[in-house]
Amino acid sequence: MVLLKRFNPNDSVKPFDCGDTDLNGFLLEDNPSVPNAKHHANELLAVTYLIEDEERMQTIAYFSLLNDKIEREITDNSVWNRLSREIPNIKRRKSQPAVKIGRLAVSSAYQGQGWGPRIISFLKQWFTEKNKTGCRYITVDALAEKVGFYEKYGFKVLVTPQEGDETVLMYYDLKKFVASNAK
């Protein structure tokens, strides 16, 4: 049986290895001086969710969510203009609400089985149908080598990366998801 559950800093985590030391460490690390899921939960900085395989006693994947916003000052002009045209004049502000995918990782044992796309699809649905706060966008600081994955699921570059950037700031407009599901 597969379960989605909210990470509890007091619980032990089932074995997990996605092949990336940083992503593994975020979930498994206990040291308060190192960014990790436990620290983020205790400080109310992010909420981490686990997808667990109860039969195999393993963590399939995890993702962390936190509040975010798309700000006029940091967004490329052409992107900001495109986003602004989508929002009624009366609601235009210098920033727009978003939820950020802080981390998303799938265990090596489960990679290639569609867990990443399922998580992205779930988040789009969750933040449009069961949304607890207003957020128009999902953002992510995608690792440079993962940009293609996010583009495949409708994310667009928000800020043109500079040479040497390890991550690319991307966004997905949830209003487009709502419109595509209304058809």
pLDDT tier at 69, thresholds 50, 70, 90: confident
pLDDT one-digit tens code per residue, 103-119: 999 999 999 999 999 99
pLDDT at residue 13, as a whole number: 92
Give the max Cα distance, the chain.
52
d(CA 136, CA 72): 15
pLDDT at residue 90, as a whole number: 55
Backbone φ, ψ for residue 42 (5° rounding): -65, -30
Q: Residue 61: is its pLDDT beyond 90?
A: yes
C-alpha dist (Å) from residue 108 to 78, 89, 102, 111: 38, 46, 19, 5
pLDDT tier at 45, thresholds 50, 70, 90: very high
